[in-house]
Amino acid sequence: MPSQSYLRPSTALDHLKTYARSDGLAVAELMDSRVHGGLTYNDFLILPGKIDFAAHEVLTESKITRNVVLKTPFMSSPMDTVTEGEMAISMALLGGIGVIHHNQSPSAQAAMVRAVKRHENGFITDPVVLSPSNIVEDVLDVKERLGFSGIPITDTGSLGGKLLGIVTNRDVQFRSPSTLLSDVMTTNLVTAPEGITLLEANDILRDSKKGKLPIVDKEGRLTSLLARSDLLKNQTYPLASKLPESKQLYAAAAVGTRPADRDRLRLLVEAGLDIVVLDSSQGNSIYQIDMIQWIKETYPNLEVIAGNVVTREQAATLIAAGADGLRVGMGSGSICITQEVMAVGRPQATAVYAVAEFASKFGVPVIADGGIGNVGHVVKALALGAGAVMMGGLLAGTTEAPGEYFYHEGKRVKAYRGMGSIEAMEQGKPVPPSAKINGGSSSHKHLNATKTITHENAATSRYFSESSAVKVAQGVSGDVQDKGSVKAFLPYLHAGLQHSFQDMGIHSVRELQEGVKRGRVRFELRTASAQVEGGVHGLHSYTKRLFA
């Protein structure tokens, strides 16, 4: 290196930078699989850059299909333990998108899509409702399980029934648990008409000094509820994923590629679907090509995410068929045993890079699906060219994921299972009564007990197993620890992402991907001992709290 003494400061800096640029590896060197083999996210790191801005200035906006841009690059998997209506609404409010699974009847799936499209922030559209013949004990049970006691009472005991009263904490205090709610409910009600704006409803709630405001239609039937406690929380979601024109939340759902899926898709489109995800473990098939072409002819405005793929060749077929986005991953999911059993797949970092590098030439974004275990993995997926990440296991333990919490070995958990697990492939088969009543610690009682058999199994089609006499599992079934609400967890992922970008000296996803392409963002491989060094080590014990 030349001595700096005879160089002017700015020239010296340029020289220094030229030398410094050779530090680490450019992405093509890192991803040369002939030298390093296939890589996972844990096999490398990104070298730091220069910080001259605040983390909150970082823009995480990114494209997930040709025409859809999200403010945060987060998607939830179409799995029956991850994404139903509640998760899809929350993901969209927080700037991401949830893909509603199809291991359920087409009408149930369409109802969830409709719920996302109809969602008005602040209104509770699926409140807990009881009937006058319920008893005080039922209210105490709701309070214990869900933490609130302001419950509307309708003649049918469900939403859509005629509103008769409301039961609050004070109504049930000091009452015998067997007292009928008809004897204790408050019937002097303040209500608001359906169609009222959130702002107007909030005013009524404030003036009435009540805890809950039931919203009713012209016939007095309950349509939704507004809670004072929600009013006190921040009700605005500045990052929400909304269509620019209608301001409705984006709705995405998965379908298979069989003829029956065309009927399913019709229902979903009628319900307002914006993005369809063709759900297959190996997307490069004649069925998927036919399906993409049919969708493009029938619903030209529907965005189609095709997949899954892990090679350029697979991607080429689906792009040629008309895909607007590609889902990348085969065998990287936390519940996945595909690579073990099928000997087919690809390490995820290599797969994301290969497909993204190829698809970007045609303007098709890719989604890095599976294997996301922490914020760092998200950053690495984006650096390798992904427009977003898709998460299953990381979100399955949140409140908004389907299923109830239960205790397993002293930990509060929720069921999480692969769609290629035997349990998911058998979804819809009757559950023995014993499993429903005293199913021990089996997580599936929580799922199976709530589903009915009204559809062909979607999981079998995802793994091309419908016609097989023997079902070969490609996934396992287990549980994941309680993660609290996605409304706290996703903002953590977002803030984590912004801090990581700050460390890299990068202001946006676009700048990151451009920097990687031009060789300005540099990488380093991690040896096995480097990975040990990069984790917590040498402590007798510790607590790992991820955010506060």
Residues marked as binding for IMP?
334, 369-371, 392-393, 416-420, 474
246: tokens are 């209608």
CB 414 within 8 A of CB 396: yes
Annotated binding residues for K(+), written as ranges, equal 331, 333, 336, 529
Pairing of strands 163-167, 192-193: unpaired
Q: Please give the Cα distance from 269 to 280 (Å, whole number).
A: 20
The catalytically annotated residue of 462, 510, 522, 545 is 462
CB of 389 to ligand IMP, least distance (A): 8
The radius of gyration of the chain's CA atoms, rounded to the nearest angstrom, is 26
CB of 75 to ligand IMP, least distance (A): 9
CB of 394 to ligand IMP, least distance (A): 6
Give the nearer residue to ligand IMP in terms of CB position, either 77 or 168. Answer: 77
Is 336 one of the catalytic residues?
A: yes
Residues 6+ apart with CB under 8 A from 41: 348, 349, 371, 376, 377, 380, 381
Give the nearer residue to ligand IMP in terms of CB position, either 116 or 372. Answer: 372
The one-letter amino acid at 500: S
Provide the angle, in degrees to the nearest 10, between the axes of the packed helices 106-118 and 259-270: 30
Query: Which spans of this chain sit near ligand IMP (rule: CB under 6 A)?
Result: 77, 79, 308, 329, 333-336, 338, 369-372, 390-394, 418-421, 474-475
The catalytically annotated residue of 264, 327, 336, 522 is 336
Is 462 one of the catalytic residues?
A: yes
CB of 419 to ligand IMP, least distance (A): 4
Give the nearer residue to ligand IMP in terms of CB position, either 82 or 184. Answer: 82
CB of 240 to ligand IMP, least distance (A): 23
Q: Please give the Cα distance from 214 to 163 (Å, whole number).
A: 8
CB 365 within 8 A of CB 46: no
Annotated binding residues, written as ranges, equal 279-281, 329-331, 333-334, 336, 369-371, 392-393, 416-420, 474, 529
Cα–Cα distance list, 514 to 48, 384, 466 (Å): 16, 10, 43
**Which residue number places its CB atom closest to ligand IMP?**
475
Please state the length of the chain: 548
CB of 533 to ligand IMP, least distance (A): 25
Angle at 178 between CA 175 and CA 183, to 5 degrees: 65
Q: Please give the Cα distance from 247 to 439 (Å, whole number).
A: 44
Annotated binding residues for NAD(+), written as ranges, equal 279-281, 329-331
CB 109 within 8 A of CB 103: no
Q: Which residue in this structure is represented by tokens 């063709």? A: 278
Give the nearer residue to ligand IMP in terms of CB position, either 202 or 350. Answer: 350
CB 391 within 8 A of CB 372: yes
* Residues carrying an active site annotation: 336, 462
